């Protein structure tokens, strides 16, 4: 064995510097704990920056509203797979975390009377699903995520949080005695050295893994690092079959074309020039709900009526609206189409495909952020020292489908509650850190040694591209039994190829090829979890839509999936149907 890895000790370690990581770190730093935050990129370049819509909170500044209505909407939106205790908790703390953010200096849009301006958003209603919309979304123009990230970052700098920027977490370190998490290994890009960061509490706030799909709105950094690390350490991943898609992302790029284009009169065409939505939704046509439009597009492509040399997309036509409407009412769309589709929509249609943008599943955690796994008779035994929050976690407040603006709320509420719980747990521990296990860091060291020692093998970019293509074709927005079964086999083959990944550049200092090879390992774990879980769930619920099982099946499938890396094993656990203080919302048919 070579020399021991350098060790740095902290009270708390936070992996990821997006909304939830920064909110948790702030709670910890304000409690005078020694906090390290690791991030692959500069914190304000985290993907939270892309969130535009707003933060849901029933402040009732413009319309009557309350947390119980918000809770109802969230439970219904989740297609009843959300845990009702966690959903009650989130909705009851929403006003508090938004007002706190306001007091930190977040530049919310305001009403004339100075209160936070709130706007309506899909799925958020008054009076338990009445036709009246709730005005619940608090926004800072179309830059809510950006403003939130900058506000939280500045507060952390003030609170003396220690940032490790351009550090990539590699693997968990667990105490073999009781499975407790006692630290992480991480690669410092600047030097290429691997370090051990030892802590009494470790939070994963690493975001989603939307880059497993060819069509994705996610930034390149969203490679599911926390999910891959957890899976390699024996932690199961929950409900990974549930991914939210948007119908119109630019083919080959992923950048979204807003629903507003269809609202203004744009419509979809197949290769025969047919306006196919007339067949699937004779009344609403191209303005049918997102899932209906996405399924119709997939069916057209699957039945051979897709466009282009690969017959793998459909067309969004808007030239008939005329340049005035396109330029005035749809600002930015023309630039996006020209830049990313090489098509000027004033003259020609835009190639589009259903595009993934949010991961509902993740590392199983409760509403205090504690990671929970089946052990003995318990479905949810706490893993000591390990916490998860934000898109990488599955609490589960979004269940099978997330409502818009609930994601930023999730980051704030569970970032804060994780930080609170970590501070409490750290205070209850003896002062010295536990001893590190003898083999601490060996897994990471072995992974890097293999990569550095390989003189030939699979190219990282090619394996990654194949993975994304297979996931898109076999496990997309509308799922067919043969595709899923074949998809499982194909992703397993890709996983085997990823184990033989090879990089030509072996330099230590700032080697981005090495980082991308390590990211590929995490993408592969996430993709396997997704396709295996989707293949096994024999129903349609929320974001999981199967052609062979078109209905929701509460008798057999009102339960959470748990996928384990070891042997691709699956287990299931009950949904928490009992809220904290109020009566349960019983599953009903979900109609809007």
Partner 1 sequence: MEREARERLRWKCRRGLLELDLVLQRYLERNPQDAELSELLDLADNDLWDIVSGRNERYDGRLSGIVARLRAS
Residues marked active site are found at 290
> Which one among 275, 378, 446, 510 touches partner 1, defined by CB under 8 A?
510
Whether the Cβ atoms of residue 48 and residue 19 lie closer than 8 Å to each other: yes
**Pick from 35, 21, 15, 125: which is nearest to 410 by CA?**
21
Segment 242 to 271, residues that bind partner 1, using CB under 8 A: 253-255
Q: Which span (218-226, 290-298, 376-384, 392-400) binds partner 1, by CB under 8 A?
A: 218-226
The token pair that represents 441 in the structure block: 């860091």
Q: What's the min distance (Å) between Cβ of 507 and partner 1?
A: 7
> Which one among 28, 97, 189, 288 touches partner 1, defined by CB under 8 A?
189
Half-sphere exposure of 208 (CA within 13 A, CB side): 25
Is residue 228 exposed (0-12), middle (13-18) or buried (19+ Cβ within 10 Å)?
buried
Q: Which span (27-35, 319-327, 329-337, 435-443) binds partner 1, by CB under 8 A?
A: 329-337
Q: Does 506 bind partner 1 (CB under 8 A)?
A: no
Query: What's the rounded Cα separation, in Å, for the pair 164 and 156?
Result: 13
Query: What's the rounded Cα separation, in Å, for the pair 212 and 16?
Result: 19
Q: Does 45 bind partner 1 (CB under 8 A)?
A: yes
Is residue 469 exposed (0-12), middle (13-18) or buried (19+ Cβ within 10 Å)?
middle
Q: What's the min distance (Å) between Cβ of 328 and partner 1?
A: 15
Comparison of 166 and 175: residue with beta carbon closer to partner 1: 166
Q: What's the min distance (Å) between Cβ of 243 and partner 1?
A: 16
Q: What's the min distance (Å) between Cβ of 211 and partner 1?
A: 10
Is residue 60 exposed (0-12), middle (13-18) or buried (19+ Cβ within 10 Å)?
middle
Q: Could you give phi then psi for residue 540, rounded to 5 degrees?
A: -115, 125
Q: Does 144 bind partner 1 (CB under 8 A)?
A: no
What angle separates helix 512-536 from helix 481-498, to the nearest 10 degrees? 150
Comparison of 58 and 210: residue with beta carbon closer to partner 1: 210
Q: What's the min distance (Å) between Cβ of 473 and partner 1?
A: 21
Query: What's the rounded Cα separation, in Å, for the pair 204 and 14?
Result: 6
Comparison of 189 and 534: residue with beta carbon closer to partner 1: 189
> Which one among 100, 102, 109, 166 touches partner 1, defined by CB under 8 A?
166
* # of chain residues touching partner 1 (CB under 8 A): 35
Beta bridge partners of 246: 355
Q: What's the min distance (Å) between Cβ of 375 and partner 1?
A: 37
> Which one among 9, 119, 146, 271 touches partner 1, defined by CB under 8 A?
146
Q: Could you give phi then psi for residue 483, rounded to 5 degrees?
A: -60, -45
Q: Does 216 bind partner 1 (CB under 8 A)?
A: yes
> Which one among 481, 507, 584, 592 touches partner 1, defined by CB under 8 A?
507
Q: Could you give phi then psi for residue 411, rounded to 5 degrees?
A: -60, -45
> Which one among 32, 160, 327, 512 touches partner 1, defined by CB under 8 A?
512
Query: What's the rounded Cα separation, in Å, for the pair 498 and 475?
Result: 19
> Which one among 61, 151, 155, 218 touches partner 1, defined by CB under 8 A?
218
Half-sphere exposure of 44 (CA within 13 A, CB side): 14
The token pair that represents 406 in the structure block: 């609930």
CA-angle at 397, arms to 145 and 53, nearest 5°: 25
Q: Which span (1-9, 274-282, 369-377, 505-513) binds partner 1, by CB under 8 A?
A: 505-513
Q: Does 443 bind partner 1 (CB under 8 A)?
A: no
Residue 36 CB contacts under 8 Å (≥ 6 apart), including other chains: 8, 10, 12, 13, 14, 162, 163, 164, 197, 199
Comparison of 200 and 313: residue with beta carbon closer to partner 1: 313
**Pick from 131, 19, 21: which is nearest to 406 by CA?**
19
Q: Which span (288-296, 330-338, 551-559, 561-569) binds partner 1, by CB under 8 A?
A: 330-338
Q: Could you give phi then psi for residue 193, rounded to 5 degrees?
A: -85, 150
Query: What's the rounded Cα separation, in Å, for the pair 413 and 143?
Result: 20
The token pair that represents 40 in the structure block: 């692959």
- Residues 453-492, one symbol each (x = binds partner 1 by CB under 8 A, - = not), give ----------------------------------------
Q: Does 143 bind partner 1 (CB under 8 A)?
A: yes
Comparison of 48 and 198: residue with beta carbon closer to partner 1: 48
Q: Which span (87-95, 305-313, 443-451, 507-515) binds partner 1, by CB under 8 A?
A: 507-515
> Which one among 23, 150, 313, 402 touches partner 1, defined by CB under 8 A?
150
The token pair that represents 501 in the structure block: 């990944």
Comparison of 65 and 225: residue with beta carbon closer to partner 1: 225
Look up residue 127 and give its DSSP letter: T
Comparison of 359 and 561: residue with beta carbon closer to partner 1: 359
Q: Does 346 bind partner 1 (CB under 8 A)?
A: no
Query: What's the rounded Cα separation, in Å, for the pair 414 and 398?
Result: 13
Segment 193 to 212, residues that bind partner 1, using CB under 8 A: none
Q: Which span (74-82, 146-154, 381-389, 437-445) binds partner 1, by CB under 8 A?
A: 146-154
Whether the Cβ atoms of residue 559 and residue 575 lie closer than 8 Å to each other: yes
Segment 46 to 65, residues that bind partner 1, using CB under 8 A: 46-50
What angle separates helix 225-232 from helix 512-536, to the nearest 10 degrees? 70
- Residues 289-328, one symbol each (x = binds partner 1 by CB under 8 A, - = not), give ----------------------------------------
**Measuring CA to CA, how many Å separate 80 from each of 66, 462, 585?**
20, 39, 8
Q: What's the min distance (Å) between Cβ of 503 and partner 1?
A: 12
Q: What's the min distance (Å) between Cβ of 143 and partner 1?
A: 5
Q: Say how many C-beta atoms besides its own lie within 10 A of residue 285's C-beta.
A: 17
Q: What's the min distance (Å) between Cβ of 94 and partner 1?
A: 24
Question: Strands, E, within 189-254: which ranges?
Answer: 193-204, 237-238, 243-250
Comparison of 509 and 580: residue with beta carbon closer to partner 1: 509
- Which residues of this chain interact with partner 1, rule CB under 8 A? 40-41, 44-50, 143, 146, 149-150, 166, 189, 216-221, 253-255, 332, 335-336, 339-340, 507, 509-512, 515
């Amino acid at each position: 064995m070579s020399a021991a890895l350098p060790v740095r000790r902290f009270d708390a370690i936070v992996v990821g510097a997006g909304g939830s990581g920064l909110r948790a770190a702030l709670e910890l730093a304000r409690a005078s704990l020694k906090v390290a935050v690791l991030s692959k990129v500069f914190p304000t370049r985290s993907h939270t920056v892309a969130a535009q819509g707003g933060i849901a909170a029933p402040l009732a500044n413009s319309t009557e509203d309350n947390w119980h209505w918000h809770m109802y909407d969230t439970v219904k939106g989740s297609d009843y797979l959300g845990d009702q205790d966690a959903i009650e908790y989130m909705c009851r703390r929403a006003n508090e975390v938004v007002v706190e953010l306001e007091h930190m200096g977040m530049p919310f849009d305001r009403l004339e009377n100075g209160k936070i301006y709130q706007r309506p958003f899909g799925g958020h209603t008054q009076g338990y699903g009445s036709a009246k919309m709730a005005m619940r979304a608090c926004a800072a123009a179309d830059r809510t995520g950006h403003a939130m990230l900058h506000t939280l970052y500045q507060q952390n700098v003030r609170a003396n949080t220690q940032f490790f920027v351009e550090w990539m977490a590699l693997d968990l370190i667990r105490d073999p005695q009781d499975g407790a998490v006692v630290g992480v290994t991480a690669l410092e890009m600047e030097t290429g050295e691997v370090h051990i960061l030892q802590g009494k509490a470790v939070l994963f706030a690493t975001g989603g893994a939307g880059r497993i799909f060819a069509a994705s709105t996610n930034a390149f950094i969203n490679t599911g690092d926390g999910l891959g690390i957890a899976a390699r350490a024996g932690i199961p991943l929950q409900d990974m079959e549930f991914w939210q898609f948007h119908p119109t992302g630019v083919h080959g790029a992923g950048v979204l074309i807003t629903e507003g284009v269809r609202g203004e009169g744009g419509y979809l065409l197949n290769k025969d020039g047919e306006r196919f939505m007339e067949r699937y939704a004779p009344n609403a046509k191209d303005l049918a709900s997102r899932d209906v439009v996405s399924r119709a597009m997939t069916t057209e492509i699957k039945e051979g009526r897709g466009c282009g040399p690969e017959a793998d997309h459909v067309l969004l036509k808007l030239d008939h609206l005329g340049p005035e409407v396109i330029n005035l009412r749809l600002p930015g769309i023309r630039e996006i189409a020209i830049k990313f589709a090489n098509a000027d929509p004033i003259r020609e249609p835009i190639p589009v495909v259903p595009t993934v943008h949010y991961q509902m599943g993740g590392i199983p955690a409760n509403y205090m952020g504690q990671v929970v796994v089946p052990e003995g008779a318990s479905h949810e035994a706490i893993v000591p020292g390990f916490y998860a929050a934000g898109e990488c976690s599955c609490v589960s407040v979004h269940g099978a489908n997330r409502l818009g603006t609930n994601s930023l709320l999730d980051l704030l509420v569970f970032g804060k509650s994780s930080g609170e719980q970590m501070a409490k747990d750290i205070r209850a521990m003896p002062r010295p850190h536990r001893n590190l296990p003898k083999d601490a860091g060996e897994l990471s060291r072995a992974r890097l040694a293999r990569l550095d020692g390989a003189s030939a093998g699979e190219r990282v970019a090619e394996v990654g591209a194949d993975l994304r293509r297979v996931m898109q074709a076999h496990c997309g927005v509308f799922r067919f039994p043969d595709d899923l079964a074949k998809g499982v086999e194909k992703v397993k083959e890709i996983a085997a190829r990823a184990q033989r990944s090879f990089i030509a550049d072996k330099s230590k200092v700032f080697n981005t090829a090495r980082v991308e090879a390590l990211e590929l390992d995490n993408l592969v774990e996430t993709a396997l979890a997704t396709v295996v879980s989707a293949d096994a769930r024999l129903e349609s619920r929320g974001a999981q839509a199967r052609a062979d099982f078109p209905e929701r099946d509460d008798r057999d499938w009102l339960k959470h999936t748990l996928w384990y890396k070891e042997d691709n094993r699956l287990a299931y656990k009950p949904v928490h149907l009992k809220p904290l203080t109020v009566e349960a919302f019983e599953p009903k048919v979900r109609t809007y």
